[in-house]
A and B are shown apart, each in its own frame.
Chain A
Amino acid sequence: MKYGMEITVAALIVVFAAVFLLQDAAIRASGEEAWGGADGEAAALIEASGYEPWTEPFWTPPSGEVESLLFALQAAIGAVIIGYIFGYWQGSRRTA
Chain B
Amino acid sequence: MHIMEGFLPSPWWEIWFIVSLPFIIVGLYQVNKLVQEKREALPLLAVAGAFVFVLSSLKLPSFNGSCSHPTGTGLGAILFGPFIAAVLGLIVLVFQAVFLAHGGITTLGANVFSMGIAGPAVAYLIYKAGTRVGANTYATIFAAAALADLTTYVVTSVQLALAFPGTTGFLGAFSAFAAIFAITQIPLAIVEGAVIALVFKYIVQLKPEILTRLNLLSESTITKLREAAA
Consensus secondary structure, chain A interface:
helix
Q: Is B144 in contact with chain A by the CB < 8 A criterion?
A: no
Which A residues from 22 to 46 make CB contacts under 8 A with B?
Answer: 23-24, 27, 32, 34-43, 45-46
CB-CB under 8 A from A72, the residues of chain B are: 57
Let me know if B83 is at the binding interface, CB within 8 A.
no
Contact (Cβ within 8 A) B43 A85: yes
Q: Which chain A residues (54-77) contact chain B, with CB distance < 8 Å?
A: 54-61, 67, 70-72, 74-75, 77
Query: Is the CB–CB distance between B166 and A53 below 8 Å?
Result: no
A65-96 interface code vs B (CB 8 A; 1 in, 0 out):
00100111011011111100110111001000
Knowing A2-B229, A49-B166, A59-B101, the reply to whether A38 touches B66 (Cβ < 8 A) is: yes
Chain B residues with Cβ under 8 A from A81's Cβ?
Answer: 46-47, 49-50, 53
Q: Are A37 and B59 in contact (CB under 8 A)?
A: yes
| 9 contacts across the A-B interface (CB closer than 8 A) | A27-B65, A38-B153, A42-B7, A46-B7, A59-B98, A67-B101, A70-B99, A75-B53, A79-B50
Interface residues of A (CB under 8 A from B): 2, 5-6, 8-9, 12-13, 16, 19-20, 23-24, 27, 32, 34-43, 45-46, 49, 51, 53-61, 67, 70-72, 74-75, 77-82, 85-86, 88-90, 93
